[in-house]
Amino acid sequence: NGAVPGEQVKKDENSRRGNWGNQIEFVLTSVGYAVGLGNVWRFPYLCYRNGGGAFMFPYFIMLVFCGIPLFFLELSFGQFTSLGCLGVWKVSPMFKGVGYGMMVVSTYIGIYYNVVICIAFYYFFTSMTNLLPWTYCNNPWNTPDCSGVVGTPRANATFANVTANLVSGLTEVVNRTKRTSPSEEYWRNYVLNISDGIGNFGEVRLPILGCLAISWVVVFLCLIRGVKSSGKVVYFTATFPYIVLTILFIRGITLDGAISGIQYYLTPQWQKILDAKVWGDAASQIFYSLGCAWGGLITMASYNKFHNNCFRDSIIISVTNCATSVYAGFVIFSILGFMAQHLGVDVSEVADQGPGLAFVAYPEALTLLPISPLWSLLFFFMLILLGLGTQFCLLETLVTAVVDEIGTDWIIRNKTYITLAVAVLGFLLGVPLTTQAGIYWLLLMDNYAASFSLVIISCIMCICIMYVYGHKNYFKDVEMMLGFPPPAFFRICWRFISPLIITFILIFTVIQYKPITYNDYVYPNWSLVIAFCMALSSVICIPVYAIFKIAMSDGTTILE
Per the annotation, binding residues for Na(+) are 32, 34-35, 39, 289, 321, 386
What letter does residue 196 receive in the DSSP assignment?
S
On the CB side of 359, CA atoms within 13 Å amount to 25
Residue 535 burial class via C-beta count within 10 angstroms: exposed 0-12, middle 13-18, buried 19 and up: buried
CA 258 – CA 341 distance, rounded (Å): 9
β partners of residue 204: 435
Nearest alpha carbon to residue 326 among 123, 53, 16, 25: 53
Q: 143 near 180, Cβ under 8 Å?
A: yes
Q: What does the chain come to in residues?
A: 560
- Classify the phi-psi angles of 345: left when phi > 0, otherwise alpha if psi is within -120 to 50, otherwise beta: beta
Q: CA end-to-end span of the chain, whole Å?
A: 36
CA 65 – CA 58 distance, rounded (Å): 10
Q: 418 near 411, Cβ under 8 Å?
A: yes
| Residue 303: partners with Cβ closer than 8 Å, 6 or more residues away | 14, 17, 18, 19, 20, 26, 82, 227
Residue 432 burial class via C-beta count within 10 angstroms: exposed 0-12, middle 13-18, buried 19 and up: middle
Nearest alpha carbon to residue 186 among 329, 8, 364: 364
- Classify the phi-psi angles of 521: left when phi > 0, otherwise alpha if psi is within -120 to 50, otherwise beta: beta
CA 536 – CA 443 distance, rounded (Å): 17
CA 219 – CA 402 distance, rounded (Å): 18
Count other Cβ atoms within 10 Å, centred on residue 428: 11
User: In one letter, which amino acid is 417?
Assistant: Y
